[in-house]
Amino acid sequence: AQSVAQPEDQVNVAEGNPLTVKCTYSVSGNPYLFWYVQYPNRGLQFLLKYITGDNLVKGSYGFEAEFNKSQTSFHLKKPSALVSDSALYFCAVRESSGGYQKVTFGTGTKLQVIP
Amino acid sequence: GAGVSQTPSNKVTEKGKYVELRCDPISGHTALYWYRQSLGQGPEFLIYFQGTGAADDSGLPNDRFFAVRPEGSVSTLKIQRTERGDSAVYLCASNFLGGSNTEAFFGQGTRLTVV
């Protein structure tokens, strides 16, 4: 069975500092990996994905994530945090083989950017 | 429409009542998903449609939950004899399975409260 772990319930970072939100995954076969962001009372917004190719993936709003196969990780990063980045972040994984495969989400990490 | 639309945005119902939640996916998207998000948790998969048929309903918690997509577009999630534990945000997502378009696009959700 596939799974995602987001070990931190909350991450606090000062505005202007770099941020990292951690994610590790477990899947049989090769993974497709995703990050979504959720603002209060809003649905999930897609940020970025890793499908294949370059391990460093760039996404929306200046976010990027690094796929590390040996560590089975896909940490979300941003060089300089903004107060407006404060939100709930979800990592998700699915197996890459075949057509449809179920997507499994982590429990989320609340990012708080302090002015 | 431009995005995934879910109605109603909020629903309060009494224990034991029947409710229907509607999802209007992005035009042209063949795949449709329902997820349930409880407070402090990540989205949990309920059911997946490819076209009109439910290709994977392994996430439905019990037989009180049912979903349809009769014309391959709009979907309705139906919950019979609602219980307080059904209170959650129900999220719908859609995408077009094929090529590299693997990410799903989410609606803003329906917040169901069973009192």
pLDDT tens column, B16-58: 999 999 999 999 898 999 999 998 899 999 999 988 999 899 9
Q: Which pLDDT score, from 0 to 100, does residue A61 have?
A: 93
Residue A43 to residue B91, Cβ atoms within 8 A: yes
**Does the pLDDT at position B1 exceed 80?**
no
**Does the pLDDT at position A96 exceed 80?**
no
Q: Structure tokens of B64?
A: 């009180």
Spatial separation of the C-alpha atoms in residues A20 and A1, rounded to whole Å: 26
* Averaged pLDDT, B59-83: 96
Spatial separation of the C-alpha atoms in residues B100 and A53, rounded to whole Å: 12
Q: Which pLDDT score, from 0 to 100, does residue A29 have?
A: 85
Residue A102 to residue B56, Cβ atoms within 8 A: yes
Q: Give the chain B residue whose CA is nearest to the CA of A34.
A: B103
Q: Which pLDDT score, from 0 to 100, does residue A52 have?
A: 87
Q: What is the percentage of chain B residues whose pLDDT exceeds 90?
A: 79
* Averaged pLDDT, A25-48: 91
Residue A42 confidence class, pLDDT cut points 50, 70, 90:
confident
Strands B75-79 and B105-106: unpaired
Q: Which of residues 84-103 of A touch B (CB under 8 A)?
A: 90, 94, 99-100, 102-103
Please list every residue in chain A whose beta carbon sits closer than 8 Å to the beta carbon of residue B55: 100
Interface with B, mutate which of A44, A47, A101 (most B CBs under 10 A): A44
Q: Which pLDDT score, from 0 to 100, does residue A22 have?
A: 98
B61-67 contact pairs (CB < 8 A, 24+): B67/B34
**Does the pLDDT at position A25 exceed 60?**
yes
* Cα B8 from chain centroid (whole Å): 12
Q: Which pLDDT score, from 0 to 100, does residue B101 have?
A: 60
